[in-house]
Structure 1
């Protein structure tokens, strides 16, 4: 009896796939964790530290001298540097250069003869023999061990103040019709090129294949001029959703027709011939037989087209505009990078909002992806 064993090449393939999955999953997981973290913790530590307590250098400004009270012949300002939050003080100091000079419970000498004491629980006292003067309170620098905090406040701020909500709706308004319309048009064209005999069919197939290699940037401006000319002739405004739907349809049709035709050609001829014998027309065959059998190819193209239109910025800026009301999600994220590039909590939450919808679409339809792509490649 010969024992079966896996070849080394099989293990190499499995390890390579596992490595690729990890490389693609880690950034997404890191983005999600960062978007849910407290903004103060996010600014000072990486997402990989989110499951453990972190030590942070923080600063707290005590109330002004007008809050001091006299106690046993001394003037005292008291409070808590943690302001009721969770955590413990690991060390403190009176200078930003030396925030860990003193351990909790020790006393630090401040300018003006005042003395500062900070306890582990964050409670502090500033004590002076004479009445303290001035308008601003003393700054207390300290190191605190703070447990990780997760919150949805970042998302609330994004949708409320950053304009992401309106841009999210704009992207959906662009992406959904720009995915459905090319599928409808390409399905009819693919059936005709696959099963209907007419003069010039081979030439049309060659033209479709040739259009696959035409760069978008080369055809964008001529297409915009043509659209504006037609719009002026018909009296239609230039910057509308119809324009961007038509643009995405034009750019997506070659791939859609090519993909769907390859799939439809591989369907059994006997089914169509039996339907014709029963008196079915081409339209009946297309609607009742071809479309249900072609769902894997339709889903494959839907994934590609939706990801393309959702992540697109160039076509949206050209055909829809860059105004605050028309800006799509990718454009809004670019603006946030410029105006609020230091607010990591805003950027991470906004970035995850931009990818959550494509992730849902991909994982919902991914089982059809390989079947649709490989259709027609093996006979």
Structure 2
């Protein structure tokens, strides 16, 4: 004889997997509290980064006597600002020539670094050939090489071939030391491009260069923009390389070299140097603000994909 065990009645289908939901205000409060430590850390980092910039800005408007007797933070309670420091910086420096020289260095160095890094990263990521992995590891390992170790040998080489004192010498040096980082940043993105997409283009008759130019590069715009932004800002702010390969009194001297010469040649004080420094960072700061969203997307794309 069989015994039939009665089954428990089924709950309505929409109620089987639902757990009690938290009230909306309590859920929002918990979410805010869980993110508070992260927000606090970001605020602290932001303040640490902002304080030197604020100090530079305030110093650029202070008088010589105030700079000699008190710190810049005292101006926040007893302000005594003057625009004469900017007039002094414009008097002792040729701002137009300095800007043109800086652009003549930064723009070609940026374009060259992006192009060479993109071609090298694509070849290492998508084109099979013998020795590809050792070359990739070697390129990535070159990131740990301090540029200062190569200054003397490269300077001797440029002296031998007659490049010292010319702007192309700065281009070659800056591009050469950006390529390892550029390849490292772009390699992960190029390796993540779906192989089916490239194979379909090849079946349609597209060559390797066409695939690279019309399919791969447009999809990598954020990563390329991030690399271009980093290279432009580094090249614009670089002092050691132009000072060594161009010389301190060269007519091709960029902003950084002229600001360094402002202190050595004229003995100007902190207030004039601060004004000159702020004038020199206006363009890269504008570029950074305009391309900020591409920078964030590009860094995440190059780091996460792969």
TM-score, normalised relative to structure 2: 0.81
What CA deviation, in whole Å up to 9, does each residue of 1:194-239 have, x standing for no partner? Answer: 111111111211111111111111222222222333x2xxxx4531
Q: Is the 8 A contact 1:168 1:329 kept in 2?
A: yes
Is 1:362 matched up with 2:293? no
Is 1:201 matched up with 2:128? no
Compare 174-183 and 29-38 and name the one that shifted more.
29-38
- The equivalent residue for 1:285 is 211
Is 1:265 matched up with 2:198? no
Is 1:28 matched up with 2:38? no
Is 1:377 matched up with 2:304? yes
- The equivalent residue for 2:176 is 250
CA distance in 2, matches of 1:312, 1:212: 18
CA distance in 2, matches of 1:51, 1:16: 25
Shift of 1:338: 3.7
Is 1:187 matched up with 2:114? no
CA distance in 2, matches of 1:345, 1:219: 35
Change (3 A) 1:181 1:297: same
Shift of 1:52: 6.3
For the pair shown, the structure with the greater C-alpha radius of gyration is 1
CA distance in 2, matches of 1:340, 1:216: 30
CA distance in 2, matches of 1:218, 1:343: 33
Is 1:16 matched up with 2:35? no
TM-score, normalised relative to structure 1: 0.66
Structure 1 segment 260-339 matched on structure 2, within 5 A:
260-339=186-265
Q: Which has the higher strand share?
A: 1
Shift of 1:42: 6.1
> Does the residue aligned with 1:177 lie in a helix, a strand or coil?
helix
What CA deviation, in whole Å up to 9, does each residue of 1:278-298 have, x standing for no partner? Answer: 111111111111111111111
- The equivalent residue for 1:77 is none
* Unmatched 5+ stretches in structure 1: 55-147
Change (3 A) 1:341 1:318: closer
> Does the residue aligned with 2:138 lie in a helix, a strand or coil?
helix
> Does the residue aligned with 1:6 lie in a helix, a strand or coil?
helix
Q: Is the 8 A contact 2:88 2:272 kept in 1?
A: yes
Change (3 A) 1:344 1:50: same
Superposition CA RMSD, Å: 2.6
Q: Is the 8 A contact 1:43 1:344 kept in 2?
A: no
Compare 195-204 and 27-36 and name the one that shifted more.
27-36
Q: Is the 8 A contact 1:263 1:372 kept in 2?
A: no
Compare 161-170 and 252-261 and name the one that shifted more.
161-170
> Does the residue aligned with 1:212 lie in a helix, a strand or coil?
helix
What CA deviation, in whole Å up to 9, does each residue of 1:301-351 have, x standing for no partner? Answer: 112212221221221122222224233322222233345555343112111
CA distance in 2, matches of 1:290, 1:378: 14
Is 1:154 matched up with 2:85? yes
CA distance in 1, matches of 2:40, 2:266: 40
Number of equivalences: 280
Q: Which has the higher helix share?
A: 2
> Does the residue aligned with 1:327 lie in a helix, a strand or coil?
coil
Change (3 A) 1:318 1:40: closer
CA distance in 1, matches of 2:110, 2:46: 27
What CA deviation, in whole Å up to 9, does each residue of 1:60-111 have, x standing for no partner? Answer: xxxxxxxxxxxxxxxxxxxxxxxxxxxxxxxxxxxxxxxxxxxxxxxxxxxx
* Unmatched 5+ stretches in structure 2: 1-20
Change (3 A) 1:304 1:30: same
